[in-house]
Amino acid sequence: MQQILEVLTKGMKRSNHKVQLMLTNLTDSTCTVSFEPKGAQAQLPVGEIFVVEISGPGDGLVEVSFDRDGLSIGEWDGAQTRVRNKRGDNVVTY
């Protein structure tokens, strides 16, 4: 029975996806960027650029929302996220 289950689940692996976003703050004030569902936040200064890399198994769907408090990036379950600034420094990794 175990061998049958292994054969059946072997083909059911979830596809890995990778999404990259470039966020640029063109306003005159710092923008808060929130990453959901994990709740991490980063401050995007005026004129700064963040490169956001989201990868992992799942559907690869990313939701970007804007409100008066800033931006919210909603990743899919199981995703790993890395945010770097324009100099290549890690800002957020989880």
Residue 9 lies in a domain: no
Residue 8 lies in a domain: no
Residue 5 lies in a domain: no
pTM, two decimals, is 0.79
Residue 10 lies in a domain: no
Mean pLDDT of 29-45: 93
Residue 50 lies in a domain: yes
Instruction: Please report the pLDDT score of residue 87 as a whole number.
Output: 94
Instruction: Please report the pLDDT score of residue 93 as a whole number.
Output: 79
Mean pLDDT of 51-56: 96
Instruction: Please report the pLDDT score of residue 82 as a whole number.
Output: 95
Residue 4 lies in a domain: no
Q: Which domain holds residue 34?
A: 15-93
Instruction: Please report the pLDDT score of residue 32 as a whole number.
Output: 96
Reported in sequence order, the residue ranges of the chain that DSSP labels E, i.e. its strands, are: 16-24, 31-36, 40-44, 49-57, 63-67, 70-74, 80-85, 90-93
| Domain total in the chain | 1
In the Cβ-directed half-sphere of 84, how many Cα atoms lie within 13 Å?
A: 8
| Confidence grade of residue 94 (pLDDT, cut at 50, 70, 90) | confident
